[in-house]
């Protein structure tokens, strides 16, 4: 059966989302700290993109577009509740906290570490570790040169190492 | 140009290890390609979502019967929605059973008409939605925001951790307004004789609620979409009741 242009694009979208599902979900999980919310955000993202139908053909780098949209969706979700949430600092971090036993503890640890970094560095680290993106993909998603993507990652990791060493945690 | 995508060149393994996820939850989300020329849109819109949309549109429409401006209608509807602890929506939908689906039934232009009741109940900040089908197995699908449960003949037959339908917008005005906007629920109000028609059209789905001004009551709601060159009705709401005692 012949596919319409819209169906072709929706198929392209569905296949990409299915292929990237675990990374999209994982990124959202470790950004939002809630599997349920991550599920909703990824699903809402899919529906929003789905609504574009045949216009998806105009998007050359669909994968990059999907990740950019996910970042924005997560940021919006966080912004709506940020006024009520506070991130703990590293000052109260103990060595026990470095060995989380479940997702909740692990998210709290990661959130505390990420809070030490400027947004542009934490975003690159999140895309690399939770989104599973290569540096050239991160460069494309964030619209920055490849060298900048790498250096932001390196500076971020260095800063975290220094902070943890200073507190005798590693 | 050859690019270097390895972490090892400049990462500190101890820090990277701390950041590496070990307890990532799992997801049951599935993204399926559309079937050509059949249900191109409805696959993405599950019946629970449609039912919730219908419930909200009906609420908005009911409030509109005795008011004059669209702004009044929306404001009063939001108030009524928030003040009602629960409401029941009786509907008939054209459905087909889909064993691979996250929900039992798909809305389908070629489906069989089946009656059901959507019950939406607010408990503090939580919103619970149940769809009770008038089928042989007396299927009930329950969404509590955290899980999806399916009961047949009173027995739990399926439970999944992630409901997938975000019911939280129904809990508060602050959430409902942006959610409705995000879903593209652009409400239109018009009068035809004794009738007030409240309609919303997102994508190819159109929902129209009809009310009698003189009788001050809901006449019906229809949800339709294009199929084979025609606008085909696939879901009809016959009645909505507010603040009825919760059922089991």
Higher per-residue confidence, A125 vs B109: A125
Confidence band for B48, pLDDT divided at 50, 70 and 90: low
Does residue B77 carry a pLDDT above 60?
no
CA distance A45 to A142: 18
Average pLDDT, integer, range B79-97: 74
Q: Residue B189 — φ and ψ, nearest 5°?
A: -120, 135
B21 to A4: CB separation less than 8 angstroms, yes or no = no
Q: How many degrees, rounded to 5, is the angle at CA B193 between CA B191 and CA B199?
A: 30
Hey, is B195 helix, strand or coil? strand
**A127-131, B7-11, B191-195: range with lowest mean pLDDT:** B7-11
Question: What was the pLDDT predicted at B43?
Answer: 39
A61-80 residue pLDDT tens = 999 999 999 999 999 988 87
CA distance B103 to chain A (A): 15
CA distance B232 to chain A (A): 20
Average pLDDT, integer, range B217-231: 75
Nearest 10 degrees: Cα torsion A36, A39, A43, A46: 150
Crossing angle of helices A146-166 and A135-142, in 10° steps, is 100
CA distance A25 to A82: 21
Does residue B135 carry a pLDDT above 80?
yes
Confidence band for B60, pLDDT divided at 50, 70 and 90: low
Confidence band for A124, pLDDT divided at 50, 70 and 90: very high
Question: What was the pLDDT predicted at B241?
Answer: 72
B12 to A157: CB separation less than 8 angstroms, yes or no = yes
Does residue A15 carry a pLDDT above 70?
yes
Residues 6+ apart with CB under 8 A from B60: B73, B74, B77, B78, B81, B187, B198, B209
Average pLDDT, integer, range B168-193: 60
DSSP string across A35-78: HHHHHHHHHHHHHHHHTTGGGGGG-S-HHHHHHHHHHHHHHHHH
Question: What was the pLDDT predicted at B238?
Answer: 79
Hey, is A152 helix, strand or coil? helix
Confidence band for B27, pLDDT divided at 50, 70 and 90: confident
Confidence band for A146, pLDDT divided at 50, 70 and 90: very high
For residue A89, the tally of other CB atoms under 10 A from its CB is 10
CA distance A106 to A122: 16
B38 neighbors A5 (Cβ within 8 angstroms) = no
What average pLDDT does chain B have?
A: 68
CA distance A93 to chain B (A): 13
Does residue A167 carry a pLDDT above 80?
yes
% pLDDT > 90, chain A: 58
CA distance B117 to B92: 9
Chain A residues with CB inside 8 Å of B24's CB?
25-26, 29-30, 103
Hey, is B182 helix, strand or coil? helix
Residue in A47, A80, A49 with CA at minimum distance from that of residue A64: A49
Does residue B185 carry a pLDDT above 70?
no
A17-58 residue pLDDT tens = 999 999 999 999 999 998 888 988 898 888 888 878 888 889
CA distance A136 to chain B (A): 7
Q: How many degrees, rounded to 5, is the angle at CA B47 between CA B26 and CA A26?
A: 20
Average pLDDT, integer, range B197-209: 68
Task: Provide the terminal-to-terminal Cα distance of chain A, rounded to the nearest Å.
Answer: 60
Does residue B180 carry a pLDDT above 90?
no
| Inter-chain contacts counted by CB atoms under 8 A, chains A and B | 131
A93-114 residue pLDDT tens = 777 888 899 999 999 999 999 9
Confidence band for B229, pLDDT divided at 50, 70 and 90: confident
Q: How far is C-alpha B231 from the geometric centre of its chain's CA atoms?
A: 20
Confidence band for B37, pLDDT divided at 50, 70 and 90: very low
Chain A residues with CB inside 8 Å of B22's CB?
100, 106
**Most B-contacting residue of A3, A33, A51, A111 (CB-CB within 10 A), to test interface:** A51
Q: Chain A residue closest to B147 (CA)?
A: A36
For residue A30, the tally of other CB atoms under 10 A from its CB is 23
Name, of A155-169, B42-56, B154-168, the range with top average pLDDT.
A155-169
% pLDDT > 70, chain A: 92
Residue in A32, A23, A167, A155 with CA at minimum distance from that of residue A98: A167
CA distance A4 to A115: 47
Does residue B84 carry a pLDDT above 70?
no
For the question of whether the overall pTM of this predicted structure is more than 0.80, the answer is no
Q: Chain B residue closest to A126 (CA)?
A: B19
Question: Checking phi first, is residue B85 left (phi over 0); if not, alpha (psi -120 to 50) or beta?
Answer: alpha
Chain B residues with CB inside 8 Å of A158's CB?
12
What average pLDDT does chain A have?
A: 88
Of A7, A30, A103, the CB nearest to B36: A7
Burial class of residue A1 (count of CB atoms within 10 Å of its CB; 0-12, 13-18, 19+): exposed
Chain A residues with CB inside 8 Å of B21's CB?
26, 29-30, 106, 110, 129-130
Query: DSSP code of A167?
Result: T
Question: What was the pLDDT predicted at A80?
Answer: 76
Average pLDDT, integer, range B194-207: 67
B142 neighbors B104 (Cβ within 8 angstroms) = no
Q: Chain B residue closest to A104 (CA)?
A: B23
B10 to A157: CB separation less than 8 angstroms, yes or no = yes
Q: Chain A residue closest to B148 (CA)?
A: A36
Average pLDDT, integer, range B197-226: 69
């Amino acid at each position: 059966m012949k596919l319409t242009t819209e169906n072709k694009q929706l198929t392209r979208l569905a296949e990409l989302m299915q292929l990237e599902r675990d990374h999209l979900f994982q990124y959202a999980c470790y950004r939002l700290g809630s599997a349920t919310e991550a599920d909703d955000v990824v699903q809402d993202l899919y529906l929003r993109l789905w609504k574009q139908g045949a216009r998806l053909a105009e998007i050359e780098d669909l994968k990059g577009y999907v990740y950019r949209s996910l970042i924005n969706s997560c940021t919006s979700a966080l912004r709506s509740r940020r006024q009520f949430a506070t991130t703990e600092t590293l000052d109260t971090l103990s060595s026990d906290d470095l060995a989380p036993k479940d997702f909740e503890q692990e998210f709290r640890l990661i959130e505390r570490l990420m809070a030490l970094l400027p947004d542009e560095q934490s975003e690159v680290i999140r895309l690399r570790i939770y989104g599973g993106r290569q540096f050239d993909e991160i460069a494309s998603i964030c619209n920055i040169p490849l060298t900048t993507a790498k250096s932001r990652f390196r500076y971020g990791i260095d800063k975290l190492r220094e902070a943890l060493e200073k507190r005798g945690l590693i | 140009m050859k690019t270097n995508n390895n972490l090892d060149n400049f990462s500190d393994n101890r820090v990277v290890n701390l950041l590496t996820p070990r307890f990532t939850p799992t997801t049951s989300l599935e993204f399926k390609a559309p079937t050509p020329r059949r249900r191109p849109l409805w696959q993405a819109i599950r019946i629970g979502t449609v039912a919730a949309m219908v419930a909200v549109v009906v609420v908005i429409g009911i409030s509109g019967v005795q008011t004059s401006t669209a702004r009044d209608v929306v404001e009063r509807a939001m108030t009524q929605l928030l003040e009602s602890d629960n409401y029941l929506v009786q509907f008939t939908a054209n459905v087909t059973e889909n064993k691979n689906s996250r929900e039992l039934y798909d809305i389908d232009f070629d489906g069989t008409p089946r009656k059901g009741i959507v019950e939406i109940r607010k408990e503090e900040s939580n919103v619970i939605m149940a769809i009770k089908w008038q089928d042989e197995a007396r299927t009930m699908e329950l969404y509590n925001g955290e899980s999806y449960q399916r009961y047949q003949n009173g027995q739990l037959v399926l439970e999944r951790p992630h409901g997938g339908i975000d019911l939280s917008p129904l809990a508060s005005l602050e959430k409902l307004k942006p959610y409705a906007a995000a879903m593209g629920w652009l409400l239109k109000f018009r009068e035809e004789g004794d009738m007030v028609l409240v309609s919303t059209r997102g994508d190819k789905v159109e929902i129209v609620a009809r009310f009698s001004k003189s009788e001050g009551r809901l006449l019906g709601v229809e949800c339709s979409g294009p199929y084979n060159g025609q606008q085909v009705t696939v879901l009809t709401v016959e009645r909505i009741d507010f603040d009825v005692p919760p059922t089991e």
